[in-house]
């Protein structure tokens, strides 16, 4: 009676599963022998001659059908291969055996070779969710959390252990990074008016030998808070105007700036003092001071206007700045001489000297001259 091949052997002991270690990224040429499987068939001649095969076919390994020797094919063994089917083929070789009889008989069981792929440091750390952009309000206390970068290394053990650092040479090192967690904190109070945007170069390195690393950029945008007062330049204006200046004439354009941005820097102007008779107005948005009516030097020869600029920050947190505008009203010849009396009488001696004062009228003395 013909007999099928009995259990496959690994070395000298029958076994249905075997284990071996192989280094990933094996060189392209066919590698040396990894292992040899063997089976026994008690029949004679062709009936006891065995044929080994890999089932299902495996592109990563070849099998000598006569000797049972398993080698790599030269297809790269990548331990981190993301394809699940290929990952399984790299790690498991199923060997079956038949004899050469007619009809050929197959062994009752297959042998499985489990391959432990030894890791090489062949992967760089990969940053997740790039590009990194974060926004943080100015004025937060030092030590505030800013962002956490994450990098993954597909290697294992030390080859996959990632640490973080920031490149030196930054204009201002206002941040620090936790080398283990990638958490970035501020180490200073950020001021948007000083630096509005930071570009932090973050390096992720593994602990392999030699080490592999990757670099990415974290953009930190410092958001404005309403922390700056409107500032007039100059803070005091001196203006001279003729008293007959037409109404709605420009007196001065105020120059005021706010170092904040957006609504926090949007200014409104008001006259808060020195304009009791309403002779002047100021543009709510443009800061142009104008006359409302003509001026009269003989009534009010000068004004000191107090101007206020208010920003459009959040209600209750708006900030103001003030300026003074000194207006001198210049005289024009707009008044006729007026006698203080309609008639004057004076008695003088006949020998009065020439050019003697005899009467006062309209702030001027009448002088006598003999003709």
97 located within any domain = yes
pLDDT of residue 365: 46
Sign of CA dihedral 7, 10, 15, 20: negative
302 located within any domain = yes
Phi, psi of 165, rounded to the nearest 5 degrees? -155, 165
Q: Read off the pLDDT of residues 173-190 as tens digits, 9 standing for 90 and up.
A: 799 999 999 999 999 999
Q: How many residues does the chain have?
A: 371
| Boundary-marking domain end, from 58, 93, 118 | 118
Give me the mean pLDDT over the 295-301 stretch.
94
Answer yes or no: do 111 and 16 share one domain: yes
293 located within any domain = yes
pLDDT of residue 12: 37
Report DSSP state, residue 33: P
53 located within any domain = yes
Q: Read off the pLDDT of residues 230-272 as tens digits, 9 standing for 90 and up.
A: 999 999 999 999 999 999 999 999 999 999 999 999 999 999 9
| Boundary-marking domain end, from 160, 194, 223 | 223
Answer yes or no: do 14 and 96 share one domain: yes
Sign of CA dihedral 115, 36, 120, 157: positive
Answer yes or no: do 201 and 171 share one domain: yes
Q: Does 40 score more than 70 pLDDT?
A: yes
> What distance in Å separates the CA atoms of residue 210 and residue 286, rounded to the nearest whole number?
65
2 located within any domain = no
pLDDT of residue 117: 86
pLDDT of residue 23: 75
271 located within any domain = yes
Answer yes or no: do 218 and 297 share one domain: no
235 located within any domain = yes
Query: Which structural domain range is residue 186 located in?
Result: 126-223
Q: How many CB atoms lie within 10 A of CB 13?
A: 8
Virtual CA dihedral for 354, 359, 362, 365, nearest 10 degrees? 30
Answer yes or no: do 353 and 268 share one domain: no
Q: Does 367 score more than 70 pLDDT?
A: no
Within 8 A by CB and 6+ apart from 191, the residues are 138, 139, 222
pLDDT tier for residue 30 given thresholds of 50, 70 and 90: low
For the sheet with 92-99, list strands across it: 17-23, 111-118, 92-99, 50-54
Q: Does 359 score more than 60 pLDDT?
A: yes
Answer yes or no: do 324 and 258 share one domain: yes
| Boundary-marking domain end, from 202, 223, 244 | 223
> What distance in Å separates the CA atoms of residue 330 and residue 239, rounded to the nearest whole number?
10
> What distance in Å separates the CA atoms of residue 173 and residue 268, rounded to the nearest whole number?
38
Answer yes or no: do 344 and 317 share one domain: no
Answer yes or no: do 235 and 316 share one domain: yes
Answer yes or no: do 343 and 321 share one domain: no
What is the domain count for the chain? 4
CATH number for the domain spanning 269: value is: 2.60.40.60
Answer yes or no: do 178 and 259 share one domain: no
3 located within any domain = no
Give me the mean pLDDT over the 205-216 stretch.
95
């Amino acid at each position: 009676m013909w007999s099928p091949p009995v259990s496959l052997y690994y070395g000298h002991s029958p076994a249905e599963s075997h284990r071996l270690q192989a280094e990933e990224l094996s060189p392209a040429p066919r590698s040396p022998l990894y292992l040899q499987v063997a089976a026994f068939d008690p029949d004679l001649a062709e009936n006891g001659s065995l044929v080994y095969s890999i089932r299902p076919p495996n592109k990563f390994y070849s099998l000598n059908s006569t000797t049972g020797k398993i080698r790599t094919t030269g297809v790269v063994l990548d331990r981190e291969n993301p394809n699940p089917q290929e990952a399984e083929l790299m790690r498991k070789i199923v060997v079956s055996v038949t004899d050469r009889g007619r009809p050929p008989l197959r062994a009752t069981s297959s042998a499985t070779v489990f391959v432990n792929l030894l890791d090489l440091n062949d992967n760089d750390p990969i940053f997740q969710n790039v590009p990194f952009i974060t926004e943080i309000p100015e004025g937060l206390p030092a030590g505030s959390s800013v962002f956490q970068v994450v990098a993954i290394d597909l290697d294992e053990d030390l080859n996959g252990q990632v640490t973080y650092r920031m490149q030196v040479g930054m204009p201002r090192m206002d941040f620090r990074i936790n080398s283990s967690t990638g958490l970035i904190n501020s180490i200073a109070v950020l001021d948007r008016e000083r630096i509005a945007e930071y570009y932090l170069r973050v390096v992720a390195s593994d602990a392999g030998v030699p080490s592999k690393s990757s670099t990415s950029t974290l953009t930190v945008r410092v958001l404005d808070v309403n922390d700056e007062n409107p500032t007039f330049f100059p803070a005091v204006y001196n203006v001279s105007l003729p008293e007959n200046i037409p109404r709605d004439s420009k007196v001065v354009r105020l120059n005021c700036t706010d170092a904040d941005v957006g609504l926090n820097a949007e200014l409104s102007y008001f006259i808060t003092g020195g304009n009791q008779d309403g002779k002047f107005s100021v543009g709510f948005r443009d800061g142009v001071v104008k006359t409302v009516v003509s001026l009269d030097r003989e009534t009010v020869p000068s004004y000191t206007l107090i101007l206020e600029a208010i920003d459009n920050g959040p209600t209750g947190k708006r900030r103001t700045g003030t300026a003074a505008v000194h207006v001198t009203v210049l005289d024009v010849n707009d008044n006729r001489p007026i006698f203080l009396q309609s008639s004057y009488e004076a008695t003088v001696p006949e020998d009065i000297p020439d050019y003697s004062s005899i009467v006062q009228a309209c702030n001027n003395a009448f002088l006598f001259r003999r003709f």
